[in-house]
Amino acid sequence: MPIRTIPKSYRNVTGVAASTKSVGAAQFESPLERDFIALLEFSPDVVRYEVQPVTIDWTDSQGQARHYTPDILVEFIPKLQHPPWLCEVKYRSTLQKEWPELRPRFRQSIRYAKAQGWRFHLVSEVEIRTPLLANVRFLQPYRERSVPDTSITIILQALSQQPEGTVTELLNALSSDLYQQAELLPAVWHLVANFRIGVDLNSPLNMDSSLWSLQ
Q: Are 68 and 109 in contact (CB under 8 A)?
A: yes
Residues 6 or more apart in contact with residue 161 via CB below 8 angstroms: none
Q: CATH number of 142-213: 2.60.120, 1.20.1070, 1.10.10, 2.50.20?
A: 1.10.10
What is the third-level CATH fold of 15-128?
Trna Endonuclease; Chain: A, domain 1 (3.40.1350)
What would the pLDDT profile of 131-184 be if each residue is shown by its tens digit?
Answer: 999 999 999 999 999 999 999 999 999 998 887 899 999 999 999 999 999 999
Assess whether pLDDT exceeds 50 at residue 9: no
Question: Domain coordinates of the chain in residue numbers?
Answer: 15-128, 142-213
Q: Residue 12 and residue 191: Cα distance in Å, rounded? A: 36
**Is pLDDT above 70 for 15?**
yes
- The total of other beta-carbon atoms located within 10 Å of residue 116's CB is 14
The radius of gyration computed from the CA coordinates of the chain, to the nearest angstrom, equals: 21
Mean pLDDT is lowest, of 1-5, 28-32, 53-57, 81-85, for 1-5
User: Within 10 Å of residue 96's Cβ, how many Cβ atoms?
Assistant: 10
